[in-house]
Chains A and B, each alone.
Chain A
Amino acid sequence: MRFSQAWIIARHDMGIFRHRWGVMGPLIGVPLGVAIGFPLLVSYIVATNGGSGLDSYLPQLIDAFSFWFVIGAAILPTAIAAYSVVGEKVEKSLEPLLSTPTTDGEILLGKTLSAFVPTILALWAGSVLFQVLIDGFTRGALGYLFYPNWAMFVILFALAPLVSLYAIELSVLVSSRVTDARSAQQYASVTFVPLIFLYVAGEIGLSLGTTNLLYLAGIFGVAVLVLFQVSRRIFHREEILTRWK
């Protein structure tokens, strides 16, 4: 598999998405909303509680908030991947693409990268702002800088990328069976439902510390490997040309 071929496809798709508000809106809005919204909530909590008992529950609350970067990793690429594959189906541009000297795997990798790279870059950018703002509040309220920490490291460099890949592969599978991007996005959105449960569990007491996050990353790692194999089988030239609706 030639990475350069996949990267040509990814760059091309990313160039197209730059002009689509349906893709760019969530890509900018979600990380920015998380990065600003939750620190503002923390500042409100700090201000209204006046420092009593913050030591015990504020770290747990912030850990739960940071889990939104995992949820974002599931939400954001579904929109891009849906446009990336279903968009080609709608414009009927898959057949010309398949007629080029690229392998099925290179095309699938290109489509995956076009959804993965902007998602991860947007989440990382948002996380920098989030961590700086949270630190701004925790230095006064808790007396130390909450970030950087290992839990956030695991979220940004293991869990979020794996969840993102998981959501992309699932979107590719869904995209092969539907004929419009909105449906693909809706079906693929089931990805983040279990993550929402985890977030709520984190809010009410489940530890979202480093160890549990690593376990979660392992589970998603296995899921990504399985889904990638299934996607490879479905994203097959002949299957696309003769069976995809």
Chain B
Amino acid sequence: MIHAEGLTKRFGDLTAVDQLSLDIAEGEVFGFLGPNGAGKTTTVRMLAALISKTSGRAEVAGFEIGNEAAELKIRERIGVLPDNVGLYDSTSAYQNLEYFGRLHRMDPATLRKNIERLLRMMDLWEKKDAPVSTYSKGMKQKVAIARALVHDPILLFLDEPTANLDPEAAKMVRDVLLELKKENRTIFLNTHNLDEAQRICDRVGIIRTRLLTVGSVDVLRSGFSRKQTVVRLERGSEEIVAAVKRKLGTDGVALSGDRLLVDVDDPERENPDINEAVVAAGGRVIELSQVSPSLEEVYLKLVHEEKPAP
């Protein structure tokens, strides 16, 4: 659905996106993570044929970005939710959707059907005729998502859909995103929210001008950060800590109450050794578990180290 090769955007001397290469398959929900100013919005704008590229190439929904005729075709096939909802406040949700449906040259009957389906899905049908200015932030965000979907796009770009929303509104929007995922839509999701990316996305990419890494959350977690074994003991002691350090030949062992925290590289090989060392030092193991790093840890590590993608 999206294929980018060396996609680069410069604004004067500033490089906003540098050599982005990326493939996103049909039906995939792809999370694009990165700090402010990392190039997320610029990437979406290039892929959505809103701004030009400086170099590289990209194909979106079967059309190459870079010439006006193809870009019109791209914009016919995609839906975009910008970081600002940008609704017409004095008109109703229905009128907002109707306007955008007309601009997509939809036939009136299909448009009416789509508007009703989307507003019902967003739980807004009862308030369809009220001016958008009377809506809450979460409701406005749902209308904006419905607007991006009104012409039934095959690819959806969502730029920070839950940013600046209170937890309840953010949950409302996240539920909608999960609904869209069930409908097997291809979604390119720009987000700061790592928990959201972890819950919704099939794969994530982390960008800081350059694409630092890309993969499924599980693969990133297993490949880019330390792993830790947590051993719950009947009673912890410094002897046990020393025994485990000796056995594994590492300093990455610490005691926290009755829990022994051990940094490991290969849990399958090292966990039996840990168990053996604890028992040999007179300890008793109640529970031994593996802690995977969170996506947040992976993200922070990558963003601060600024390591390029392999």
Interface set of A (CB-CB < 8 Å, partner B): 5, 8-9, 12, 15-16, 19-20, 91-103, 237-238, 241-242
Contacts and interface: CB of A to CB of B under 8 A. Distances in A.
A241 B148 CA distance: 18
Contacts of B307: none
B125 interface: no
Nearest to B69: A103
Closest 3 CB pairs of A and B: A92-B84, A99-B80, A93-B86
Contact of A101 (B86, B89, B104): B104
Interface string B80-94: 101011111111000
A100 B103 contact: yes
B50 A98 contact: yes
Interface string B21-63: 0000000000000000000000001001011100000000000
A91 B132 CA distance: 12
A237 B50 contact: yes
A91 B86 contact: yes
Interface of B: 11, 45, 48, 50-52, 68, 72-73, 75-76, 78-80, 82, 84-91, 95, 99-100, 102-105, 144, 147-148
Contact of A5 (B82, B85, B89, B103): B103
A99 B50 CA distance: 7
A93 B86 CA distance: 4
Contacts of A94: 86
12 contacts: A8-B99, A8-B102, A15-B91, A92-B86, A95-B84, A96-B100, A96-B147, A97-B86, A99-B75, A102-B103, A238-B51, A238-B52
Of A15, A20, A94, A95, most buried by chain B (CB within 10 Å of CB) is A95
A68 to B, nearest CB: 31
Nearest to A98: B50
Nearest to B16: A242
B51 A93 contact: no
Nearest to B105: A101
B75 A101 contact: yes
Contacts of A237: 50-51
Contacts, number: 72
A20 B78 CA distance: 33
Contacts of B148: 96
A28 B266 CA distance: 80
Contact of B90 (A9, A19, A99): A19
Contacts of A8: 99, 102-103
B89 A91 contact: yes
A124 to B, nearest CB: 27
B82 A96 contact: yes
B187 to A, nearest CB: 15
A96 B86 contact: yes
B268 to A, nearest CB: 49
A244 to B, nearest CB: 13
B49 to A, nearest CB: 9
A32 B104 CA distance: 39
A19 B72 CA distance: 32
A93 B99 CA distance: 12
A16 B72 CA distance: 26
Of B75, B78, B104, most buried by chain A (CB within 10 Å of CB) is B75
A184 to B, nearest CB: 18
Contacts of A97: 86, 103
A239 B99 CA distance: 24
Contacts of B78: 99
A99 B51 contact: no
Nearest to B84: A92
A15 B92 CA distance: 12
A12 B98 CA distance: 10
A96 B79 CA distance: 9
Contacts of A98: 50
Contacts of B105: 101
